[in-house]
Structure 1
């Protein structure tokens, strides 16, 4: 009988040939066809850390957080950062920064460590090192120590919302014109705290800006000059009560979403 198969032989034919019409003679052990396993794609290699954070004296968890934060800005601006230090010796100040360097304490929670990096890197390195003016525009009333800031530096238009010079507020400035109490310290801390508040407490910032024309101007400046592509990386967990001003944006609770 042509193509007659015992049930077992038939099942063997189906499993080995893939079809009930496999050409296997009755009573004969079906030939097994070797199957090639589908190639398994190699696991992606972990991305190398930025050299500025991949230092032996920085803890691994802090390297990972810093690498993510620093990669959130364009490479040309990121390259402005030449020195990065994490201190584990109980420094008096939790963070310091200039045009090309950032120093932060490692003796804080991961959430606070990230917020400090946003304040120091987004707020100071980008402000003083990436946003620049030109000598031909003339010297503004704002100085970072001995360094002059030119009139066409984009940051000047932010400073002028609340400041006459880097340390003297406008006559009509009020405490509620600043996102935090610390922001009223000088023009540079105003910038850094406003950036941090925008990144980590955007909803509260927007709520306050609807009732405060000065904060609305600062919010508009941030979205015009820094955050032109809307991407929410965190959800602020601090609720604005309609009147009080928090002291420090790096201390406010938030939930982090961004992953590179």
Structure 2
């Protein structure tokens, strides 16, 4: 199961054993992150991961683990090859299992997470982890309708954090927001779109420099979204909650072993 990706490195979990690996799909090189002390084991729904760049080209994995509503945080350095416990102070309420955390999206030295309550528009925030200072901040959410289901994803577009949320219950609408400072600016929104009969999950996985988003469905098929088109020509509403987290990678020789 692919959990997170950055550049050409993937963080994957072996579902039978819950072990975490870093993998370069181009070379096949991989590194087992599980340690005798019990670090590097991933529990679905309870745990959260995110990859970011550390100093001196060090790729670092942040691993948040929620057990009995208590949260612990560790990071793994590919250069040092070890785990380190860090402080990650957030609202205690977000540590409960009823809050879903998205995988981390790195943008301009900050790792961002969407934190939403039970998939409904009740309480939603964006949590930022500053990779240089290791400080945690909370960012208000874009204004979304106060009823219905919320789904959304974050993506880094040229060092600008973009959120693509879609809301509703049966009929859904989609908006695109960009974070400017501490405020969200809306770029466009679609009228309400009736759900389509095909049960297709789509997750934005990569932004190409030619202005195209690549998305992956649960059937592992890739689709492209041209951002210069009318939004209604690109987006379709879906009543499903999550898609598989996929990754598009470049053929660059980066070793997961530092």
Q: TM-score range by the shorter chain?
A: under 0.3
The structure number with the bigger radius of gyration is 1
